[in-house]
Structure 1
Amino acid sequence: MPELKIEREHALGLAGARTVAERWREQAQQEWGMTCASEPGETEDRMRFERSGVSGQLTVTSTRFDLHLKLGFLLGAYSGKIEEKIRANLDELLGPVA
């Protein structure tokens, strides 16, 4: 099962990162049909998400976004394009790298 790990640093602080994570969650649900569950914490938040053929977790801290994604067999053939799309999406949401 192919796995993607995408890490991004940012300078938004935890409150700003939570706002971006919420926008990402909305996109994931509306555009990609994901089911998402958030687990807020004191120093980091975790968001678990899934749909048929995809599951993963987004960890958000005051300085980082760490996305871990597992693709099912059929979507594994498109892992390069999926990773490219997710990276572009995070770049757009987070702005320039810190």
Structure 2
Amino acid sequence: MPDIRIHRDHSLGLAKARKVAWDWAEQVEKEFDMECTVLEGETSDTVEFTRSGVNGTLIVAPDHFELHAKLGLLLGAFAKTIQGEIEKNLDTLLGAANQAAAKAPAKAAAKAAAKKAPKRGG
């Protein structure tokens, strides 16, 4: 059976990484008819996914994602294509999360600066 292994480092922390993982799970349930189960832990989560010909896990940690999938005989012939699609989907979700995380401090700083600005008029 062909295996797919994907590792992605990130700096989101566990709460934001969970959101990315849940979005990914919803996406693969809709697009690929996967059945996903999320097992939450204190320091990491595991998303178990399965459907005919595929089963695997996505480990969600504060600083990385680790995906391991086993493909059945029929889907094994498409392992490279399937891996590319998983990487693209995960990278897209990570990119969106990283952009949102980068904007949040800038927004907070702008809000704080606006509060400190002296009022004019009177």
TM-score higher than 0.5: yes
TM-score by length of 2: 0.77
What's the counterpart of residue 78 of structure 1?
78
Question: Which structure: greater strand fraction?
Answer: 1
**Shift of the alpha carbon at 1:95?**
1.2
- Residues 33-80 of structure 1: CA distance to partner in whole angstroms, max 9, x if unpaired? 001111100000001110000000000000000000000000000001
What's the counterpart of residue 110 of structure 2?
none
Q: Tell me the distance in 2 between the aligned counterparts of 1:40 and 1:67.
A: 16
What's the counterpart of residue 36 of structure 1?
36
Question: Which structure: greater helix fraction?
Answer: 2
- One-letter amino acid of the counterpart of residue 94, structure 2: L
- One-letter amino acid of the counterpart of residue 7, structure 1: H
Identity %: 51
SS where residue 29 of structure 1 aligns? helix
**Shift of the alpha carbon at 1:28?**
1.1
TM-score by length of 1: 0.95
Gaps of 5+ in 2: 99-122
Tell me: higher relative CO, structure 1 or 2? Use CA pairs within 8 A at least 6 residues apart. Answer: 1
Gaps of 5+ in 1: none
SS where residue 5 of structure 2 aligns? strand
Bigger radius of gyration among the two: 2
